[in-house]
Structure 1
Amino acid sequence: PYFEIDPLKIDIKEVASVVSTAYARRLQVIPVKVEKTKIVVATAEPYALSWIREFQDVTNKQVEVVVASHTAIKYFIEEFFTVRSATQEFKRENPREAGSRGDFSAVIELDRMLKGTKGDITKDASAVVRIVDWLFQFACTERATDIHIEPKHGKGQVRFRIDGKMRVVYSFEPELMIPVVSRIKILAEMQVDERRKPQDGRIRYRLADGREMEMRLSTIPVQYGEKIVTRIFDPKMVGKSFEDLGFADEDIDRWESLINLPHGLVLVTGPTGSGKSTTLHTSLRLVAKEDVNICTVEDPVEIMNDDLNQMQVNYKLDITFGNAIRAFLRQDPDIIMVGEIRDTDAGKMAIQAALTGHLVLSTLHTNDAVSSITRLIDLGIPPHLITASLRGMMAQRLVRRLCEFCREKVPTSPAAWAEVVGPHPVAMPSHVYAPKGCRECKHTGYLGRLCVYEMVLMDRELKDSIRSSVTLEELMDITKGKYVPLRVCGAHKIIEGVTSLDEVLRVIF
């Protein structure tokens, strides 16, 4: 049978230990599954099987043959055996470390050894360098947004977050944990020998295909050592249009009318990881022109853009969001983007900037759009200043996009539909689409993500209510019918067939 080699469903460490790299290259075969009594082996030549007897003698297991493309086999032989050969090389060169859980000694020596390897990575480079290089390439190939390298009892574990879901992709010997983390910290210009406190760093990494990826790193000490998380920012995401992000045409027009205002405050709200930064940077890309001066303050600067003047928060130097806005006001800005309004000072300065002829874009951590009003009040912003400056707010979430190559039509569950739409009168369709899984989506049923959102524009009635210090529930009643709520937007995406009932329920509720 034809076999699709999916590295996320294969125990790479296990299959790479079955035979040597040279053996796999010579025969152009690759183990893809190891069971107690047999091994599943992929080949591109199903009629040339003279190697099976030798393979069974070497492994002492029965062989089940599956057929895969020659291109895939050649590619994954190099991918799967890279880490294995690098690990073996590391053990040969560092016999004192082999078999141990990795003492913190010799890290400074490792630092010196790897200092000269920040450029292009070649096959002759250090074993640890090759492992990290493979890891970054693999993550970007699989569309991961985050890499988690975690020390566990007796092993190091690697997990990727793909389309919002975490997946274990690899585990390696514990003695490699410190060298791998140290190599990444060197690239990010972090303190290699400091493992007692959290650190942050950044890498700009060039892939084999020439693309440059921005990577933001964070380390923390945990029970078995040091964990490192790498967030990957693909510049192509910022180059996407609002249509690509899942916005309807009429909502694009409404949003663009907000971000083209000469002054005022515009907010994007939602939890961490809901795509707020992508929405803001996509917005800035649309308004960035030669005759517009745009200043941003972020913590940290996630996506580099030469059209912007980007400042990073640094509390040690007293560069807070509020102080950055104060500095911007002396820089003749047209537009100011504030990464997040976290405290009263940042809130008051954002309002002041909006009231003095500048357009201010920022984010808040609230669950819905209307709650951003009460959040500003909680921060100590007087209601009359909110009504004078706030122009509109949008709450958003990211849901996984159904794979268009394999999605399947299924009858709609009345109970699930009622849970999605709640009290809103949205007609239930007879059928919706559900995930199935194919080689295009790595058998997950989903391929990419899109926005589900709600957008509220300020009007006279809402401003009068804010001045009257009404409650959040009263604000909800006042705005009812004036915007499309998150759950209704999710229902529309389900009807369009771009996401599933289960996905909307998972993300929004």
Structure 2
Amino acid sequence: MFFRKVEDAASAGVALAPSPIARTVAPIAIEELSHFKTFADVPKFQKALSAGIRPLIALPQEVREKVVVVEQPGRIALVVQADVDRSQLESIKGKLREHNYALRVATADPVVIRDIYQGAGEAGDVDRSARAGNEFMKESAEWVAYAVQNRATDIHLEVRGSIGVVRVRVDGELEAMKGPNGGRYTAKFMEQCMASLFNNDQQSKSGSDSLFDKEKFLYCMVPYSERGLSLKLRFQSMKGNEGPKTVLRLLHVDENQPTLTFEQLGYAPSHVALWEQAMQTPSGMVLIAGVTGSGKSTLLKSFIELNPNTPRSAVSTIEDPVEYPIRGAHQIPIQRDLSDGKESAKRYAETIGALMRSDPDIVMLGEIRDHFSANAAQQLAETGHMALGTVHAHLLSGIVPRLVNPEIGFSRQILTAPNIATLFAYQALVAKLCPACCMGTTEASQHDLSVATIAGHMKTLGIDAAPMRWKRIGGCTECRQRGTVGLTVAAEMLMPDEEWLRPIREGRDTDAVEVYRSRSNGRFDDPDMTGKTVFEHTLYKALAGQVDARQCSRFDTWHRFMLHANRRKQPS
């Protein structure tokens, strides 16, 4: 916010009638801020001093429509006015000086003053007609349409004191919503949009509560089918110190959409071969690891729909809640109440018991996150069924430690028993470079020294770095100034065998990692990903000019990678 200092009216000789207290206060410089055209221009404030039951600055109705006073951090009073009478303005400033406020003054359009009152949580006598109930739904629909148009995976709605902010996640990165108001609204309006989505639009039997409460952690599924789009919005809200936050995950649920193949997702041919082998294995656990938002649910949907055995198998899923429609599967929604562990356990046990009596072949359990889901996976695998599940673990090497920790409770003996573990995979999503504006190494090195360092590593390894490309900050019109155009999978996969299971059984996880990596051919520009890490899969795609090699450091440091690579080059 640009502003200039102007002298206080009192020190400029304007005749006032201050109280005795005011006469003891030294003249204070006033910051005069530029004109506020929209609410997005208004700086953050804590409360309105001219609103409430007993306001510090009591204003008659005709003045309230032209001026609002808010308090900012540091005991600063901001007076926002629209052509208010000079004597009234000076009276307000005198009252604020009596209470030892530093002063800021700005002009604004009347609609901004109304929005500030609403942002402070009280519209009072200010006209509310512009905030008709359906406006919240209309604005929410605009956010969704914007997110779809920009290939966003998530919409973040966040209240920060008096301001509501909309951001979207595109190609893995959060950015402010672009538009006339920069994704900024009044806090009150933002909360009402959250409440509208939760109270009015949620799918039946998908929510944790029936009414929105900004002091609770809430979730539900919100169907969305406008403008030719068929989506579900996975709604998750959280309370916060400055106000609530809601994240909407966009789930494309068009049943007519073709199934994404493993190759389309971004898997290498050697990875695809492992997926196909797992499909031909009638029993055991197939577990997918990854952080939140890494595409695990999409992958399991593809695994079931692409599996040639699905049409002649009994396939069921247990989901909290159901996200995507999966062709060929009987999908069971189950709500697990985190505040009532006993009731959740009972519900889950009843569902598993019913499934085991229903002649299943393949069961997708969702996230393996506690004793109940772990016992279900074990029971299915031990009785000759296939159990599909996800695990919140970082890297392939993190899957076993996650499964055997007390929260989940697998024993190493059970986990490494014959025919229990069929396939372990870890996947992440990496942004694809915009081919229209990505930079070559020489140009990119001028902007970031780490580019030259990585190119030097490739030279040390004897790899031609000429095809490598790098993200252009600010992008171009083709990528809407992002520098990226979508996401691709980077992965590491393992089909457990006795050579790998033995050190796992004995608690020698580091040795198991070495067993896995010993199967790599050591050629980082080769598409065979056997024994290679997600770092190395990302590097392979970077060497092909598809992604920025700097993304490799999301999974490990370049220092550790080079140490390992150089050890492999040395003769034994």
TM superposition score normalised by structure 2: 0.64
Quick check: 1:216 aligned with 2:216? no
Q: Which digits, 9 at most, give the CA deviation of each residue in 1:352-380, with x for residues without a partner?
A: 21121211111122222233234333344
Contact 1:98–1:175 under 8 Å retained in 2:
no
Q: Cα RMSD (Å) of the superposition?
A: 3.4
Change (3 A) 1:333 1:142: same
2:508 maps to which residue?
Answer: 471
| Equivalent residue runs for 1:117-266 within 5 Å | 126-169=134-177, 170-185=183-198, 186-188=200-202, 191-192=210-211, 194-208=213-227, 210-235=228-253, 239-266=259-286
What is the one-letter code of the residue matched to 2:410? I
Q: Which digits, 9 at most, give the CA deviation of each residue in 1:142-177, with x for residues without a partner?
A: 111111111123321111111111111110233422
Q: Distance in 2 between matches of 1:196 and 1:420?
A: 52
Unaligned stretches of 5+ residues in structure 1: 1-12, 19-86, 115-125
Contact 2:40–2:184 under 8 Å retained in 1:
no
- What SS is found at the alignment partner of 1:290? helix
Percent identity over paired residues: 24
- Pick the aligned partner of 2:532 from 459, 473, 484: 484
Q: Distance in 1 between matches of 2:316 and 2:497?
A: 28
Q: Which digits, 9 at most, give the CA deviation of each residue in 1:377-400, with x for residues without a partner?
A: 334433342232101211111110
Change (3 A) 1:218 1:277: same
2:24 maps to which residue?
Answer: none
Q: Which digits, 9 at most, give the CA deviation of each residue in 1:238-276, with x for residues without a partner?
A: 832211211112321221211331111111112222221
Q: Which has the larger radius of gyration?
A: 2
Q: Distance in 2 between matches of 1:289 and 1:324?
A: 21
- Pick the aligned partner of 2:291 from 262, 271, 274: 271
What is the one-letter code of the residue matched to 1:212? S
Q: Distance in 1 between matches of 2:147 and 2:281?
A: 39
- Pick the aligned partner of 1:459 from 481, 497, 504: 497
Contact 2:320–2:334 under 8 Å retained in 1:
yes
Q: Distance in 1 between matches of 2:184 and 2:263?
A: 39
Quick check: 1:102 aligned with 2:121? yes
- What SS is found at the alignment partner of 2:441? strand
Change (3 A) 1:135 1:496: same
1:77 maps to which residue?
Answer: none
1:327 maps to which residue?
Answer: 354
Deviation of 1:417 (Å): 5.5
TM superposition score normalised by structure 1: 0.71
- Pick the aligned partner of 1:370 from 383, 397, 407: 397
2:369 maps to which residue?
Answer: 342
| Equivalent residue runs for 1:382-421 within 5 Å | 382-387=411-416, 388=418, 389-411=420-442, 413=451, 415-416=453-454
Q: Distance in 2 between matches of 1:454 and 1:160?
A: 28
- What SS is found at the alignment partner of 2:515? helix
Q: Distance in 2 between matches of 1:472 and 1:432?
A: 34
Change (3 A) 1:155 1:370: closer
Aligned residue pairs: how many?
A: 405
Q: Distance in 2 between matches of 1:368 and 1:193?
A: 36
Q: Distance in 2 between matches of 1:200 and 1:360?
A: 26
> Does 95-104 or 432-441 show the bigger shift?
95-104
- What SS is found at the alignment partner of 2:164? strand
Q: Which digits, 9 at most, give the CA deviation of each residue in 1:183-236, with x for residues without a partner?
A: 21221266445332121111111131x120111101222233332211111247
- What SS is found at the alignment partner of 1:400? strand
Contact 2:39–2:185 under 8 Å retained in 1:
no
Deviation of 1:332 (Å): 1.2
2:546 maps to which residue?
Answer: 498
- What SS is found at the alignment partner of 1:392? strand
Change (3 A) 1:182 1:390: same
- What SS is found at the alignment partner of 2:239? strand
1:381 maps to which residue?
Answer: 410
Q: Which digits, 9 at most, give the CA deviation of each residue in 1:10-53, with x for residues without a partner?
A: xxx969999xxxxxxxxxxxxxxxxxxxxxxxxxxxxxxxxxxx
Q: Distance in 1 between matches of 2:37 and 2:546?
A: 37
- What SS is found at the alignment partner of 2:440? strand
| Equivalent residue runs for 1:404-443 within 5 Å | 404-411=435-442, 413=451, 415-416=453-454, 427=463, 429-436=465-472, 437-443=475-481
Contact 2:118–2:189 under 8 Å retained in 1:
no
Contact 1:298–1:339 under 8 Å retained in 2:
yes
| Equivalent residue runs for 1:294-305 within 5 Å | 294-305=315-326
What is the one-letter code of the residue matched to 1:148? H
What is the one-letter code of the residue matched to 2:512? L
Contact 2:289–2:394 under 8 Å retained in 1:
yes
Change (3 A) 1:349 1:405: same
Contact 1:421–1:491 under 8 Å retained in 2:
no
Contact 2:304–2:310 under 8 Å retained in 1:
no
Contact 1:494–1:501 under 8 Å retained in 2:
yes
Deviation of 1:315 (Å): 3.0
Q: Distance in 2 between matches of 1:242 and 1:421?
A: 32
Deviation of 1:499 (Å): 0.4
Q: Distance in 1 between matches of 2:458 and 2:351?
A: 41
